[in-house]
Amino acid sequence: MKQNPWKKDFPQLNNQLHYFDSAATSLKPTSVIEQVNYYNQQLSSNINRGMYYESQKATELYEEARETIAKFIHADLNEVVFTRGTTSSLNMVARSFGLNHLHPGDEILTSELEHHSSILPWQYVAHKTGAKLQYIPLSDEGKVTLESFEAAINDKTKVVVINHVSNVMGYVTPIKEMVAIAHEYGAIVVVDGAQAIQHIEVDVKSLDADFYAFSGHKMLGPTGIGVLYGKSDLLDDMEPLEYGGDMALDVMKQQFSWKESPTKFEAGTMPIASVIGLKAAVEYLQNTGIDNIHEYSKNLYDYFIDKIKDIKDIEFYNKSSDTFMFTFNLKNVPSHDAISYFSEKHIALRAGQHCAKLIHDFLGIHSSLRGTIYFYNTYEDVDFLVETLIEAIDYFKKLGF
Ligand SMILES: Cc1ncc(COP(=O)(O)O)c(C=O)c1O
């Protein structure tokens, strides 16, 4: 059985937990936990304000985090805005860019595969501006294809809002090609990268995406921190959403001016410990190598798929997954009943609609169970999951489901 060299870095895995809920949030390695503790125990001071050592060190680490992240996604420094997470990043674009640039008759193009944090802000913008939300028809497998995208985009399309990886199916969307097509129509592309950044190399310059959003907590980092990448000319053109400390350049009695991006978007005291933790998370991903993470996870996923292929009474909704996600139901068993069985065995899966109701409507189901294989999972975890799946099917059958 292949040894897992990374499991020891994740203290939470020292108990009986079999963690397959990494798409909801990832576990945190010791190096991240230590950096967050270091800030809280030894610095715990605000940034950009104090002249004393602790404040200056915190400021230095905060800005070093921006540099690390900018390099990681191949962005310029002023294009990396810290936010509370993907949801905040996507709302920032919708409110700050969308509300000010869309007009009646304009179209926003998205898909039924999106997470609610991509769809709902743009529904709000559509209602406020008179623009219309349109959906790219999905293939039978539930994929966004270039053909369907090309058929759906038109001269009225001003914004395309699309995930890089779906949080229900785990498919990778052909972002680079879609961005090229969207730009021919003069539309900007907002990419939800929440499920991509921890699995695949992201080069925002090569993708040519206009905006790219992601969360720290899904990429080994702390909660409460995320990133909005935006092309600098677009960020320059956007108004801040929040007004207050640190973002103002000059303040008079009746008016004020604001600093340049990214500072104008980071009003008030930011989650400094989480930013510093995110830097450690990116360093961990870089040191481990996204390719190694991908290769190990793929081998383990293939092992899982091979082990479950003959099990009847499981319905899988994604036949394959680029990011090792498996979404399924036990036949005739509501997902919330099934999840209780797995939880008792300390298997962490997720039940429900995963904040993506429209794809469940598309699949004709109310809810599903979702698991993800990530690089800290072991072959023993997968064996135990498969054993438990078989037991669960039997258990619910005996109960008459
Ligand atoms: C594809 C996708 N987009 C957006 C989000 C929202 O992320 P957060 O809750 O970190 O803001 C998630 C989280 O589940 C997601 O999977």
Instruction: Determine the average pLDDT of the residues in 149-169.
Output: 98
Assess whether 277 and 357 both reside in one domain: no
**Looking at residue 317, which CATH number applies to its domain?**
3.90.1150.10
| Closest residue by CA, ligand 1 atom 16 | 167
Residue 229's pLDDT band (cuts 50, 70, 90):
very high
Is any ligand 1 atom within 6 A of the Cβ of residue 170? no
User: In angstroms, rounded to a whole number, what is the distance separating the alpha carbons of residues 184 and 279?
Assistant: 36
Does the pLDDT at position 1 exceed 80?
Answer: no
Q: Are strands 188-192 and 157-163 parallel, antiparallel or unpaired?
A: parallel
Give the pLDDT of residue 212: 98
- Structural domain includes residue 25: no
Q: Which residue, among 121, 159, 152, 158, has the nearest Cα to 138 in the 3D structure?
A: 152
Mean pLDDT rounded to a whole number for the chain: 97
Decide which of 259, 287, 315 is a domain's last residue.
287
Question: Which of 271, 287, 303 finishes a domain?
Answer: 287
Q: Is the CB of 163 under 6 A from ligand 1?
A: yes
pLDDT tens for 164-180 read: 999 999 999 999 999 99
Between the CA of 163 and the centroid of ligand 1 the distance, in Å, is: 10
In this predicted structure, what is the pLDDT of residue 182? 98
User: Ligand 1: which atom is nearest the Cα of residue 192?
Assistant: 3
CB 67 within 8 A of CB 167: no
Residue with more model confidence, 15 or 88: 88
Domain boundary among 253, 287, 321: 287
Average confidence (pLDDT) over 212-236: 98
Cβ atoms of 214 and 184 within 8 Å: the answer is: no
Residue 103 has pLDDT above 70, yes or no: yes
Confidence of residue 50 (pLDDT cuts 50, 70, 90): confident
Q: Tell me, using a 6 A CB cutoff, whether residue 388 lines ligand 1.
A: no
Pocket of ligand 1 contains residue 79 by CB under 6 Å:
no
User: What's the predicted TM-score (pTM) here?
Assistant: 0.97
Q: Is the pLDDT of residue 2 over 80?
A: no
For residues 212-221, give the mean pLDDT.
98
Convert the pLDDT of each residue in 283-306 to its tens digit. 999 999 999 999 999 999 999 999
Ligand 1 site-directed mutation target among 84, 144, 167, most atoms within 8 Å of CB: 167
Active site residues: 355
- Domain of residue 379 covers 7-20+289-398
CA distance 243 to 27: 33
Instruction: Say if 1 falls within a structural domain.
Output: no
Report the separation in Å between the CA atom of 87 and the middle of ligand 1, taken as the mean of its atom positions. Answer: 6
Instruction: Check if the beta carbon of residue 389 is closer than 8 Å to that of residue 342.
Output: no
Residues 6+ apart with CB under 8 A from 1: 379, 380
- pLDDT tens per residue across span 308-343: 999 999 999 997 889 999 999 999 999 999 999 999
CA distances from 58 to 40, 50, 221, 225 (A): 10, 10, 17, 16
Q: Are residue 263 and residue 304 in the same domain, yes or no?
A: no
Ligand 1 neighbour 115 (Cβ under 6 A): yes
Is residue 353 situated within a structural domain?
yes
Predicted confidence at residue 259, as pLDDT, reads 97
Q: Do 12 and 141 lie in a common domain?
A: no
